[in-house]
Chain A
């Protein structure tokens, strides 16, 4: 975690050099790119060597056992406390997004995102919060169901407030707009999103399993 004012140190992992350089140019000046990597092995080595605050991680990567970003995260499992992963993908397939989140990524954004937005996302992830794109929020709603149901494990359902936050994010609201619409602070929105992320990562909920199986995630 970085104190305010200190630059955020990141490692960019993507197999396309053009995309890496474009992303580096787009990032805000307070975000320092320490290293780049193009394959699973390079990524794991770079993360181990630099211990960055945030890893911008492409979901589809060559190398390793062919599991791409997921494999990088599991390869750095011991550092998940210090290093945060932000998944970055052109893919909008549920299996890619959800599997990388369940592996431990703190957020997911699409590659079409603007430079300001991605810088915001990096800062947010570095600060320990989660970053949900509208599509990821849609997947969460799809997986957990949109209605409130009584289940035993708190991990297995979203609270009414979390549902509202997810819905607004799916509708294209920024965190600030969500906060305004629900009359809560941005910090509270972030807390809700982090709680949803935790549930998404830890829940073994029956519906989530079935949902994942339907989409061949398991």
Chain B
């Protein structure tokens, strides 16, 4: 007697009887006889057998260690199944049914060739036996046989599915989600229910039908209760498998990304080692790209203000090879006036890099009451009033653009550097509400 039950590998059909015998400490012959006898109690034996087939693992098939055995290889299983009793009286049918299956079906998970052949062969044997007995003058009650056939087909369909899912599902986590498997299961269920109803209505009154329906619902509920832990465990296995798969995919994606970006850049840097400017530009661009990839967060949505500003800062960095330090607080939708603000920011940053010739700091603060952008460089500075009128750069593309879009721009320059301050009020309703409240942002601008 063993503590935990396994299906025996020394088996006739699925090793259930042998496993049960080992588990209970009985003789295999006795268990088989009981099992066969109970089949006549409204098929209880068949149901119990199938039940154990599904629930009890094959010996040596504990958790993941058994996975390789579950490979969809029809060959060995067919060999093991061959001595099965139904195959004996009709070798011709089995032979005809087997090779008729297209070999391509082997590739389809779920239905192994062996099981399929057994099924078809079994069905043909049953049909042959029925035909033979009809010839021999036995009175066949079609009203009983057809529903029984329907039930059997439904049960096989559903349970084949379950068994297959269990075997292959562990190998292929996505399997359970395919509409096909669900459809098969549901179809099997419907067939069984329909068959049961046909039998019951064919042989009794409506009161009896009603009682049977209640009874079957109760039985189903009970079965559900018993099944729940198993279903849960099965689901967890699937989830674990899926998580592992996702991790693997992510790792591969990271490796691919690093290869495409970082390794390429490093190779380029080695080639350009003699040009400090190229090297620093490459390094900076790679750094930016890697950062945005690692720290991708909600602020990265395109169509948002911060993303737009980030993009223009990156563009200027690439153009001039000087770092642009960006700090943002809050974010806003990138509407029409906001686009103008982004463009004005771009001009201001470009101006800072070009004339300041030093790293540029950009600070963006987006609040419902409006957006402020500060662009600061540490260049020698210039007098905004002294810029010749033909130099449209700053005056037109920054100040003019902001004014046309309902904002304002201010340029403060000193020998310590230049700062461009852009302000764009929020939406009409928000702006109206905000004008009264204290905006201490501008406190230092009043100096």
Q: Of the candidates B295, B367, B419, B440, which one forms a contact with A160 in the assembled complex, judged by CB atoms under 8 Å apart?
A: B440
Asked whether A163 lies within 8 Å of B440 as measured between CB atoms, the reply is yes
CB contacts (< 8 Å) of A147 on chain B: these are: 367, 437
Contact of B61 with A by CB under 8 A: no
Contact of B382 with A by CB under 8 A: no
Q: Among the listed stretches B176-184, B194-202, B233-241, B323-331, which one makes contact with chain A, having 4 or more residues with CB under 8 Å of it?
A: B323-331
CB contacts (< 8 Å) of B297 on chain A: these are: 215
CB contacts (< 8 Å) of A148 on chain B: these are: 438, 440
Q: How large is the interface on A (under 10, 10 to 19, 20 to 34, 35 or more residues)?
A: 20 to 34
Asked whether B438 lies within 8 Å of A181 as measured between CB atoms, the reply is no
Asked whether A168 lies within 8 Å of B444 as measured between CB atoms, the reply is yes
Q: Which of A112, A171, A177, A182 has the most CB of B within 10 A?
A: A171
Contact of A167 with B by CB under 8 A: yes
Asked whether B329 lies within 8 Å of A141 as measured between CB atoms, the reply is yes
Nearest 6 A-B pairs (CB), nearest first? A172-B361, A138-B327, A171-B363, A171-B374, A172-B376, A141-B329
CB contacts (< 8 Å) of B329 on chain A: these are: 138, 141-142, 146, 170
Contact of A72 with B by CB under 8 A: no
Contact of B365 with A by CB under 8 A: yes
Q: How many angstroms between the C-alpha atoms of A183 and B443 in the bound complex? A: 12
Contact of B416 with A by CB under 8 A: yes
- Say how far A149's CB is from chain B's closest CB, in angstroms: 11
Chain A, range 139-187, C-beta contacts under 8 Å to B: 141-142, 146-148, 160, 163-164, 167-168, 170-173, 177, 181-183
Asked whether A146 lies within 8 Å of B363 as measured between CB atoms, the reply is no
Q: Of the candidates A91, A93, A138, A181, which one forms a contact with B328 in the assembled complex, judged by CB atoms under 8 Å apart?
A: A138
Binary CB contact string for chain B from 275 to 297 against chain A (1 if under 8 A, 0 otherwise): 00000000000000001001101
Asked whether B361 lies within 8 Å of A134 as measured between CB atoms, the reply is yes
Contact of A92 with B by CB under 8 A: yes
Q: Give chain B's interface secondary structure class.
A: mixed
Contact of B79 with A by CB under 8 A: no
CB contacts (< 8 Å) of B443 on chain A: these are: 160, 164
Contact of A9 with B by CB under 8 A: no
Chain B, range 107-156, C-beta contacts under 8 Å to A: none
- Say how far A55's CB is from chain B's closest CB, in angstroms: 25
Chain A, range 67-126, C-beta contacts under 8 Å to B: 91-93, 112
Q: How many angstroms between the C-alpha atoms of A147 and B291 in the bound complex? A: 29
- Say how far A147's CB is from chain B's closest CB, in angstroms: 7
Asked whether A172 lies within 8 Å of B363 as measured between CB atoms, the reply is yes
Contact of A137 with B by CB under 8 A: yes
CB contacts (< 8 Å) of A177 on chain B: these are: 416
Contact of A192 with B by CB under 8 A: no
- Say how far B325's CB is from chain A's closest CB, in angstroms: 6
Binary CB contact string for chain A from 35 to 51 against chain B (1 if under 8 A, 0 otherwise): 00000000000000000
Asked whether A141 lies within 8 Å of B376 as measured between CB atoms, the reply is no
- Say how far A96's CB is from chain B's closest CB, in angstroms: 9
Q: How many angstroms between the C-alpha atoms of A173 and B443 in the bound complex? A: 16
Q: How many angstroms between the C-alpha atoms of A167 and B440 in the bound complex? A: 10
Chain B, range 370-406, C-beta contacts under 8 Å to A: 374, 376
Q: How large is the interface on B (under 10, 10 to 19, 20 to 34, 35 or more residues)?
A: 20 to 34
CB contacts (< 8 Å) of A138 on chain B: these are: 327-329, 363
Q: How many angstroms between the C-alpha atoms of A135 and B294 in the bound complex? A: 17
CB contacts (< 8 Å) of A146 on chain B: these are: 329-330, 365, 367, 441
CB contacts (< 8 Å) of B441 on chain A: these are: 146, 167
Asked whether B447 lies within 8 Å of A181 as measured between CB atoms, the reply is yes
Contacts A141-B329, A163-B440, A181-B444 given; 11 further ones with Cβ under 8 A? A138-B328, A146-B329, A146-B367, A170-B329, A170-B363, A170-B365, A171-B376, A173-B376, A177-B416, A181-B447, A215-B297
- Say how far A182's CB is from chain B's closest CB, in angstroms: 6
Q: Which of A92, A141, A147, A168 has the most CB of B within 10 A?
A: A147
CB contacts (< 8 Å) of B367 on chain A: these are: 146-147
CB contacts (< 8 Å) of A167 on chain B: these are: 363, 365, 441, 444
Q: How many angstroms between the C-alpha atoms of A141 and B131 in the bound complex? A: 87
Known: A148-B440, A167-B441, A171-B374. A135 touches B327 (CB 8 A): yes
A-B CB contact pairs (8 Å), 14 listed: A92-B291, A92-B295, A93-B294, A112-B323, A134-B327, A135-B327, A138-B328, A138-B363, A163-B440, A167-B365, A167-B444, A170-B329, A171-B361, A173-B376
Q: How many angstroms between the C-alpha atoms of A172 and B327 in the bound complex? A: 9
Asked whether B295 lies within 8 Å of A93 as measured between CB atoms, the reply is yes
Q: How many angstroms between the C-alpha atoms of A168 and B442 in the bound complex? A: 11
Chain B, range 320-341, C-beta contacts under 8 Å to A: 323, 325, 327-330
Q: How many angstroms between the C-alpha atoms of A134 and B323 in the bound complex? A: 14
Q: How many angstroms between the C-alpha atoms of A138 and B374 in the bound complex? A: 13
Q: How many angstroms between the C-alpha atoms of A124 and B363 in the bound complex? A: 24
Binary CB contact string for chain B from 334 to 369 against chain A (1 if under 8 A, 0 otherwise): 000000000000000000000000000101010100
Q: Which of B361, B437, B438 has the most CB of A within 10 A?
A: B361
CB contacts (< 8 Å) of B437 on chain A: these are: 147
CB contacts (< 8 Å) of B330 on chain A: these are: 142, 146
CB contacts (< 8 Å) of B294 on chain A: these are: 93
CB contacts (< 8 Å) of B419 on chain A: these are: 171
CB nearest to B363 among chain A residues = A171
Q: How many angstroms between the C-alpha atoms of A147 and B361 in the bound complex? A: 22
- Say how far B440's CB is from chain A's closest CB, in angstroms: 5
Chain B, range 39-56, C-beta contacts under 8 Å to A: none
